[in-house]
A and B are shown apart, each in its own frame.
Chain A
Amino acid sequence: MAADTIKDHPRERRLVNFRVWLAVVVMILMTTGLVIRAFNLQVMQYDELATQSEENRIHLRTVPPVRGLIYDAKGRLLAENRPSYTLTIIRERVEDMDWTLDELGKLVTLDQEDVDEFKERVYQSRPFNSVPLKYRLSEREIARVSVNQHRLPGVNVEAQLIRYYPQKNTMAHAVGYVGRINDRELKKLDTSLYSGTNIIGKTGVERYYEDILLGKPGYQEVESNARGRVLRVLKRVDPIPGKDLHLYLDLDLQKAAMNALKGKRGAVVALDPKTGGVLTLASTPSYDTNSFVTGIGYKEYSNLRDNINRPLYNRATLGEYPPASTIKPFVGLAALDSDTVESDYRIFDKGYFQLPGEERRYRNWKRKGDGWTNLVRAIARSNDTYFYDIAVKMGIDTIHEYMTMFGLGQRTGLDIASERPGLMPSRAWKRQARGAPWYPGETVISGIGQGYMLATPLQLATATAVLANRGTVVKPRLAKPGPGVAPVPPFAHVEKDEKDWETVIKGMREVVENPRGTAAYRIGKNLKYTVAGKTGTAQVVGIPQDIKEEEAQVLEEFQKDHGLFIAFAPVEDPKIALAVIVENDSKAAVGVARKVMDAWLLPQLNDLTKTSLLSGNKKEGEL
């Protein structure tokens, strides 16, 4: 320790102590800096940072309302909401979206479509709201996601109510379905009402009554942690659930109609003539609407869309067919009411009709002629010659006027999203649409419902209901009046001579009851009630455009005539008025109608027999 010898201890101590005091001063200055910083943050910036802290933890989340349920006439569910587990993502919580989606793809099966659609929607949604990626997770998928959730921030499994149609394809065209809101709809709708949901009614009742089924969203002020998990609800404004709808549709009758049409392309519309309530609105083939609720896959959709039988197409309200001979009772009533002819007016049918001074022969379906024919017989035998004759006597203007009164050529105003107006030609229409004058020959074929004339099964059923009511015009309705559904406006009654109605109806009864009536054989035996009906056979003018060469046999099938039948029953006190069309099968419509009427009337008759008010079809013996 040689160095010790030259150390000057007191001096060194003074030196070091001086340095220590210097350090103390520096420490005090630096601590002052910290205090100033704390003061700056906690006092000067307090308001701003306290607000940011609140914004961190408190978020406004919308609570979607529960969509209204849809019931049939007897209170059976046609559309309900079922809990389902949905994989959702909150975009703000995700660090790397592509990575997260890749990882999720390993846990659950994700279609590329799901992912693409999600990517589109995720940037349109409000911040901190969860966006669904995949619906209807299986138990296994829920478990796999839950186990891995800790390493996938922003990913959640949420229980949501999803629309469910327990009747699957039975009610597809009438009830319709809901689906994801698309861009076009997004532009039109009030986003505040849809902030909690991405579902909207797409077709049928679901679309028409969207406003009342939807309800009003509520909201929640929630406290959530940094990973977006909601810890507690600070404030809640409950959503207002959508209102339930009760329909006139009867599930049993609808099933009967769908069964009767099974394997056919066709439609049945049945009304209660007293209320205008639609008892059945069937169109076949049909499809399961549940596929559309959470977004249908492209392949599944193109299968439905490109199917040659066109299951998506609602034939009952969109199908426009030549009404053919089913128009005859209405033409007959027009002739009587306009005093064109008397009820005992008759012609001798030699098999064809000729306009005065013209060569062309308008033929009866029975080439040889049918002898002396009055109106009742003309309807029963569907005599074309008779109707050529009275149509020409009336002229197109009168025909147009009366057919319009029966509701043809215009939308019925049914509470369904989509309906076509059909076509009731007139001079004015032809001048405008075709730029040509009306030719007398066109009046001739109008008398048998051919030519330009087009009607939907719904229109035919509505017109039949007017016949059944002997002039009271009803407006067809799907939904019963109730909360949000306006009551049906009072019916218009067309004041006509009672006798005229009965003459036409007598003709329609004979269609079924007279052994020579056009439906007598096909209606079947043991009819337990009275029926007034009218057959029709529509020639197919156009064939579907999209048929390919290799489907030549199919093409032949699609060129066959359509069969139509309108009817109401019982004649004395009509409880059902219906129109049936079976495409490319001229023989099936009557049988379908019989099954539907049986399904509706037999249970009611059984009830009546019990109270011994009425028994069977008393007219049967007279024939």
Chain B
Amino acid sequence: MSQDFIRQLDPSHNLRSAPSLSSRLHLDPLLISMLLAFCTAGLFILYSASSQNMDMVIRQAIYMLVGFVGMCIIAQIPPRYLMMLAPFAYLGGVALLVTVLVMGYGAKGAQRWISLPGFRFQPSEIIKLVMPLTVAAWLCRRPLPPKFQDVVIALILIGIPTALIARQPDLGTSLLIAASGLFVLLLAGLKWRIIGSAVLLALPAMWGMWHFVMREYQKQRVLTFLNPESDPWGSGWNIIQSKIAIGSGGLYGKGWLLGTQSHLDFLPESHTDFIIAVLAEEFGLTGVLVLLAAYALILGRGIFITLHAQNMFSRLVSGSVTLTFFVYIFVNIGMVSGLLPVVGVPLPLVSRGGTSLVTLMAGFGILMSAHTHRNLLGR
């Protein structure tokens, strides 16, 4: 009880100045301008990667617009409402995942979509957003670092949608969703000995995954990753060609629209998952470094927001969203450059694809909400 009586002014809050326009609109101008610049640059890369398909670029730009609008809307919702809504959204998302498994129809042999009149969407995208909110909503009410039983409940919360998505089967997404939940746990101060024993348990778990969970094509991806040259015309083709694309870019690249690997169709999926190879081929190491630096700026803003969050929920959610964003980048670049096995993870904000873009923007909306809805008195 004693804490409730100690109320202090937020140290950054200047009482004398009127709230700025951006804070009244609950938007973070820094993050918005970085995202805008990044998306614009991304469109140029997509234009080249899609073999100058203007339609595709325009469609992507429309999705970006939708994403920005979605981001602004979510930014209006104060974190405490997000916290209250999270459990319901979680239950709804899980219900949709079950629906997809039962009656969703297949795309590329996987059942991921729900089709409503007019549009269709992947329930797993909702879960991407809901997962950190839910785990954070649970943990922020418990004393931190979380006790063992709190951890167990959090793991169950993480495990249910993860298992459902893995059943679709969409291993990449399920791992990323699990990661976004686990990041909340880790940030919340999960005890080192639990982390340590989990790592020790992971080795036999991997063996179990290989033999009982992973499908044949997933195993093939891992084997191909370990030795792409074993089947250069088949499953090794993608990774060999993307390495050639990246490497042949050299220091300065072949020039915009001049990448031969992508324009002559040697590079598969050049406008979706492998788009970084197009950038690396056309802009060289310079382009890669600029891209990474731009990501670093966005990530830096995310970290800043996390560190300056007013309450524990916002802090955990912001941290998790930021770290998940990083994981997307790392997994995508890692897989395209041959460091990681090929899992279907797009390069955030650049790869073609509306749903993941909108979800990402919504994530940034949560960040902004956390940053701009500040009580006069911090807690």
Binding site for B on A (CB under 8 A): 1, 3-9, 12-13, 15-17, 19-20, 23-24, 27, 30-31, 33-35, 37-39, 41-43, 45-46, 48-50, 52-54, 56-57, 95, 223-227, 231
Contact = CB atoms under 8 A, between A and B. Distances in A.
Given A13-B315, A20-B187, A38 B337 contact: yes
B66 interface: no
Contact of A49 (B141, B244, B285, B296): B244
A34 B186 contact: no
A212 to B, nearest CB: 40
Given A6-B143, A23-B319, A46-B250, 19 more contacts: A7-B3, A9-B379, A12-B144, A15-B189, A17-B307, A23-B187, A27-B299, A27-B323, A31-B330, A34-B333, A35-B288, A49-B243, A52-B247, A53-B244, A56-B260, A56-B266, A57-B264, A223-B260, A226-B266
Given A9-B3, A27-B326, A56-B266, A42 B280 contact: yes
A31 B247 CA distance: 18
A357 B260 CA distance: 99
Contacts of B289: 35, 38
A268 B258 CA distance: 68
A45 B251 CA distance: 11
Interface string B286-300: 001100100010010
Contact of B188 (A1, A16, A226): A16
A512 B189 CA distance: 126
A16 B312 contact: yes
Interface in B327-379: 330, 333-334, 337-339, 379
B268 to A, nearest CB: 8
A3 B141 CA distance: 6
A1 B141 contact: yes
Across the A-B interface, the 10 shortest Cβ-Cβ residue pairs: A49-B247, A53-B248, A226-B265, A225-B264, A41-B247, A50-B248, A42-B285, A12-B144, A15-B189, A226-B266
B228 interface: no
Nearest to B145: A15
Given A49-B247, A50-B248, A3 B187 contact: no
B168 interface: no
- Interface core residue of B144, B183, B241, B284 (most chain A CB under 10 Å): B144
Given A20-B319, A23-B187, A23-B319, A42 B251 contact: yes
6 contacts: A12-B143, A23-B183, A23-B323, A52-B244, A225-B265, A225-B266
- Interface size grouping (class) on chain B: 35 or more
B186 A19 contact: yes
Interface of B: 1, 3, 141-145, 183, 186-189, 233-234, 241, 243-251, 260-261, 264-266, 280, 284-285, 288-289, 292, 296, 299, 303, 306-307, 312, 315-316, 319, 323, 326, 330, 333-334, 337-339, 379
Contact of A224 (B264, B306, B312, B315): B264
Contacts of A38: 246, 280, 285, 288-289, 337
A31 B330 CA distance: 7
Contacts of A225: 264-266
Nearest to B253: A42
B182 to A, nearest CB: 12
B318 to A, nearest CB: 9
A23 B302 CA distance: 12
A52 B248 contact: yes
Contacts of B251: 42-43, 46
A155 B199 CA distance: 52
A48 B260 contact: no
Contacts of B265: 225-227
Nearest to B326: A27
A37 B285 CA distance: 10
Nearest to A12: B144
A619 B183 CA distance: 122
A33 B183 CA distance: 21
A37 B339 contact: yes
B301 to A, nearest CB: 13
Given A15-B189, A57-B264, A226-B266, A41 B307 contact: no
A7 B316 contact: no
A363 B338 CA distance: 99
Contacts of B1: 5
Contacts of B246: 38, 41-42, 49
B229 to A, nearest CB: 12
**Which of A16, A48, A95 is the most central at the interface, judged by chain B CB atoms within 10 Å of its CB?**
A16
Given A50-B248, A53-B248, A35 B292 contact: yes
A24 B188 CA distance: 15
B296 A31 contact: yes
A12 B186 CA distance: 13
A609 to B, nearest CB: 73
A34 B334 contact: yes
A558 to B, nearest CB: 60
Contact of A45 (B247, B260, B326): B247
B357 to A, nearest CB: 22
A37 B337 contact: yes
Contacts of A223: 260, 264
Contacts of A24: 303
A56 B284 CA distance: 19
A21 B315 CA distance: 13
Nearest to B233: A95
A315 B374 CA distance: 109
Given A38-B280, A41-B337, A42-B246, A57 B326 contact: no
A12 B306 contact: no
Contacts of A3: 141-143
Nearest to B268: A226
A52 B250 CA distance: 13
Contacts of A19: 186-189, 319
B264 A231 contact: yes
A42 B319 contact: no
A248 B334 CA distance: 75
Contacts of A30: 326, 330
B180 to A, nearest CB: 13
Contacts of B306: 20
B74 to A, nearest CB: 22
Contacts of A43: 250-251, 285
A101 to B, nearest CB: 18
A39 B234 CA distance: 27
B346 to A, nearest CB: 16
Nearest to B249: A42
A149 B189 CA distance: 59
A6 B2 CA distance: 9
Nearest to A10: B3
A13 B241 CA distance: 47
Contact of A20 (B241, B244, B307): B307
Nearest to A45: B247
B351 to A, nearest CB: 17
Contacts of B337: 34, 37-38, 41
B274 to A, nearest CB: 13
A13 B145 CA distance: 11
Contacts of A13: 312, 315
A33 B339 contact: yes
A37 B233 CA distance: 24
A1 B330 CA distance: 39
B102 to A, nearest CB: 33
Contacts of A27: 299, 323, 326
A397 B265 CA distance: 81
A48 B244 CA distance: 9
Which of the listed residues B145, B246, B247 has the most CB atoms from chain A within 10 Å of its own CB? B247
Nearest to B311: A9
Contacts of B285: 38-39, 42-43
